[in-house]
Amino acid sequence: MTFNIENFMSPRALQTLRSTGLHKVAGVMAGIDELTIKEAVAMVGAKAHLRRCESQKIAEGINAYAALNGEKVADAMSAMIPRMVLPGIGGALIAAAPSLTADGPIDMDQLQQRMLLGGGLGALGGAGTALVKGLRQAPGGVDQGLAESIRNLP
């Protein structure tokens, strides 16, 4: 499958992106005159974190409501998946940024490889963070032997 960015962006927007850089376009979209690549990544990360917190609160509310009604609460994996999605997307975007902001044509194979690797590492980090956070906050919900075994790992 080939991806042609010209099918998704107008020629004028594409030329602006190529000549000024992704961080400059993000700055204009945010209403900020000067925005560096670090600030653009921080802004995207902050928005992703905010959305993650909002979705986490909604999921916790739904689980609490289900528990009050005596319904089966979701298992650990379905609770972990939402915590893997945003870090995975963030990792893919951060990994793709050098290819998207470089001068010259975009090597789609290299871009896909970077996005897959960055997305996989981000999702893995999100899953690990969620697992550690879950074990620290509510070890009673996990078998005590398993929790102690995981904590004692080197």
The overall pTM is greater than 0.85 = no
Produce one character per residue of 91-118: b if its CB has 16 or more CB atoms within 10 Å, e if not. Answer: bbbbbbbebebeeeeeeeeebeebbeeb
8-state DSSP, 106: -
Q: What is the pLDDT of residue 138?
A: 59
Domain ranges of the chain: 10-151
**Model pLDDT for residues 44-61, shown as the tens digit of each residue:** 788 888 888 898 888 888
Judge whether residue 16 has pLDDT over 80.
no
Half-sphere exposure of 22 (CA within 13 A, CB side): 17
Closest CA to 49 of 22, 87, 96, 92: 87
